[in-house]
Amino acid sequence: MSADTRRRGGAPVPGERLDGLVAVLDAIRSRPGTTHPRLVQQLGLGRTVVSQRVARLEAAGLVAQDGLAPSSGGRSPRRLRLRRNAGLVAGVDIGATGMTVGLADLSGSVLAASREAVDVADGPDVVLGRVERLVEDLLARLPAPPPLWGIGVGVPGPVEFATSRPVAPPIMPGWDGYPVRERLAGRFAAPVWVDNDVNVLALGEVRANPAAAEAGDLLYVKIGTGIGAGLVSGGRVHRGVNGCAGDIGHVAVAEAGAVSCRCGNVGCLEAVAGGAALAREARRLAERGGSPALAEALAARGGLTAADVTAAAERGDPAARALLARAGRLVGGTLATLVSFYNPGLVVLGGGVVHAGDQVLAAVRESVYRRSLPLATRMLRIELSALGEAAGLTGAVHLVLDSVFEAERLARWLPWGSPAGHPDVACGPAPGPA
């Protein structure tokens, strides 16, 4: 395919026309209620071109009129909006111990969602079986639901983004190379995208948090059962060649010494600062009498988790607070290198360990500002996630929306005949891999 044409059903589609259509659609999606004059001014396209592109989108059922805007002289311009109810998108956020499944409209607004406990180590047949059941249950709750346009899935392990297959995920036995896309696409006759959970979290933050969207270049760091980072550059997730960019949990740190990591190596950041590491150190403290609060929790339940550490810290336990502060310093030391290298405007911290209290956030900030280059931190902000747990579902939904409205996919399913001959867009994009 040449640089200036795209193909649909073997017929070339002028690239300039398609790119203009995508630009108009993106502008309407990002600014509901915009008008023809504003589109002309914003996009730098001629009035005739904008009118033609809007007419094409209206004929395809993607855009609708939304009343009239105030007149600045002459006829009042029409407000335009995306036909958000033309289709549905499913988002699936799978974590190590729980998952959230939801349905959203084409604007990304979540219409219904369910969350339940799950052990990702039970394997793909068990976990994805529950995903399928939850999606079907949510669809059944909606009266006369429109077609499902796509499914976005986040999983807690490395994913080869081009194939949507997990690759040697340390905490996901049985998932290596599993055809997640093919299974769900076959079940629901809709395209499927799968990504690492931290990339999905980062995408959710940048699409739904105005501060993150304004920053454009940011790092999202999750500190939970595992540790990972999502890199966003110019508002788009940077995945690297194979999709493993940002896997900082398995960076070697001197403080880890010879501590074994679940990935099979020793000395990884996650092995001394992740949730499992906190639970291990908490048990050691409890058994040696170093923390009455943790000893009490251990006696009551027979085991400890990172959540017990954060609960004890919130109650003022000095040993638990020290554990969290140490984890924050270790993560901050690794982040300092990334900040100097990447120079983001914002670092967003998420995950259960971070949201437990101020100790981790304060320690991360102290390490990053002390060890990064002064120029790299001049305008840097380090903040907690504004979305919290909702970032995963939001990101999974936008993983689909960012893809179905891209030029290459539109060229494959949007009709290019006369407007009167267009089928209803409710049929959605053609099923199949992205």
pLDDT at 66: 80
Q: How confident is the model at residue 15 (pLDDT cuts 50, 70, 90)?
A: low
Asked if pLDDT for residue 17 goes beyond 80, the answer is: no
Task: Please state which of the ranges 22-26, 361-365, 415-419 shows the lowest mean pLDDT.
Answer: 415-419
Structure tokens at 161: 């983004």
Q: How many Cα atoms within 13 Å fall on the side-chain side of residue 284?
A: 8
d(Cα 189, Cα 433) in Å, to the nearest integer? 11
Contact 89, 401 (CB under 8 A): yes
Q: How confident is the model at residue 410 (pLDDT cuts 50, 70, 90)?
A: confident
Contact 228, 348 (CB under 8 A): no
pLDDT at 367: 95
Strands 227-233, 159-160: pairing kind? unpaired
d(Cα 190, Cα 264) in Å, to the nearest integer? 37
Q: How confident is the model at residue 413 (pLDDT cuts 50, 70, 90)?
A: low
R_g of the chain computed on alpha carbons:
24
pLDDT digits (tens, 9 = 90+) for 293-325: 999 999 998 999 998 999 999 889 999 999 999
d(Cα 296, Cα 55) in Å, to the nearest integer? 68
Helix (H) or strand (E) holding 306: helix 306-314
d(Cα 194, Cα 196) in Å, to the nearest integer? 7
Other beta carbons less than 10 A from residue 56's beta carbon: 21
d(Cα 186, Cα 422) in Å, to the nearest integer? 26
Q: How confident is the model at residue 73 (pLDDT cuts 50, 70, 90)?
A: low
Residue 232 pairs in a beta bridge with: 218, 237
DSSP-based three-state secondary structure for 59: helix
Asked if pLDDT for residue 431 goes beyond 50, the answer is: no
Structure tokens at 12: 């070339």
Of 431 and 331, the structure prediction assigns the larger pLDDT to 331
pLDDT > 70 fraction of the chain, expressed in percent and rounded? 89
DSSP-based three-state secondary structure for 150: strand
Q: Nearest Cα to 222, choosing from 313, 97, 95, 337?
A: 95
Contact 149, 89 (CB under 8 A): yes
Asked if pLDDT for residue 419 goes beyond 80, the answer is: no
State the chain's mean pLDDT as an integer: 87
Q: Which long-range contacts (CB under 8 A, 24 or more apart) does 386-389 make?
A: 386/205, 386/208, 386/209, 386/211, 386/212, 386/348, 387/204, 387/205, 387/208, 387/209, 387/350, 388/350, 388/355, 389/100
Task: Please state which of the ranges 1-10, 57-66, 237-246, 300-309 shows the lowest mean pLDDT.
Answer: 1-10
For residue 67, CA distances in Å to 61, 79, 108, 308 come to 17, 6, 22, 54
pLDDT digits (tens, 9 = 90+) for 318-376: 999 999 999 999 999 999 999 999 999 999 999 888 876 678 899 999 999 999 999 99
pLDDT at 188: 97
Task: Please state which of the ranges 73-82, 216-225, 393-402 shows the lowest mean pLDDT.
Answer: 73-82
